[in-house]
Amino acid sequence: MNVAEKREFIHSHLHQAEEQVINEFYEILREKDLLKLKLESRALKSEADINSGQVFSRDEVEQRFGNINR
């Protein structure tokens, strides 16, 4: 079953789902949205830091925190 078929199946059976199932779907989707917002916010802050020059070189980081192994 492909994604479109799964979506259609879920959509057509959603009105029959018990509250617990609806709550589980809701929590999964809400957490995913919150994670997306958090990651977008971090990316925007990082981009702003880079644009404003608030960055450290690798040497500066290693001096502050010790040698970082990859």
User: What was the pLDDT predicted at 63?
Assistant: 87
Task: Judge whether residue 48 has pLDDT over 80.
Answer: yes
What number is the average pLDDT over the span 37-64? 92
Query: pTM value?
Result: 0.59
Q: Which residue would you say has higher pLDDT here, 68 or 50? A: 50
**pLDDT bracket for residue 49 (50, 70, 90):** very high
Q: What is the pLDDT of residue 69?
A: 67
The span from the CA of 21 to the CA of 13, in Å, is 11
Average pLDDT, the chain: 92
- Which helix (H) or strand (E) element contains residue 62? helix 58-65
